A and B are shown apart, each in its own frame.
Chain A
């Protein structure tokens, strides 16, 4: 059974600081996704990582994928309050069909 683990689960940080969220998964994956979820809202797609060594950046967020280590990271640079949300990674394995297996989520709070 595929397992996806994120850490930390809770992260409180000061504005202007840098931090990294880690996502480990237990088996070979075709694709890895990062999503953002605000309280009571749906999931907003941030990044889709399709190959080993993939790195994508959008604003203060940068995601990378190491398929050999089965690890993805979401790096936050110079955090701002607007980044406060829950961040999920999800892994997609195409077997008999497609489905996402999600991590538990990292609840990020950026304090002024």
Chain B
């Protein structure tokens, strides 16, 4: 069982470029969550998705950020026109069902640096 796979592990983008972060949930997990961690802070919820559906995007910034979880393939977190303030670690988590009864498993994260 490969766990939650995120790639890339590190991503450097210039201001104004686009960043695409990928997350493949654990086998058998159909619920995906994205969190952002700024330096020296806790994780902040961004978005919760199931296959082909966004369930809760209340933590997503209103502009430039979008997420999807297509029928086939990984979940994608997309940041358009990145700015320095987007530099952070982005973690994906998955769970087998809603409510996290099976627990949440986190990926290793993507560390985005905007220069």
Contacts and interface: CB of A to CB of B under 8 A. Distances in A.
A97 B44 contact: no
B100 to A, nearest CB: 5
Nearest to B57: A97
A98 B91 contact: no
A16 B93 CA distance: 34
Contacts, number: 68
B45 interface: yes
B104 to A, nearest CB: 7
Contact of A98 (B59, B100, B108): B100
B55 interface: yes
A96 B56 contact: yes
A100 B104 contact: yes
B109 interface: yes
Interface residues of A, number: 25
Contacts of A33: 100, 103-104
A97 B45 contact: no
Interface string A69-112: 00000000000000000001010101011111111110000000
Given A30-B99, A94-B99, A99 B43 contact: no
A63 interface: no
Interface string A50-61: 100000000000
Nearest to A45: B103
Interface string B18-39: 0000000000000101010000
Interface string B60-93: 0000000000000000000000000000000101
Interface of A: 30-31, 33, 35, 40-43, 45, 48, 50, 88, 90, 92, 94, 96-105
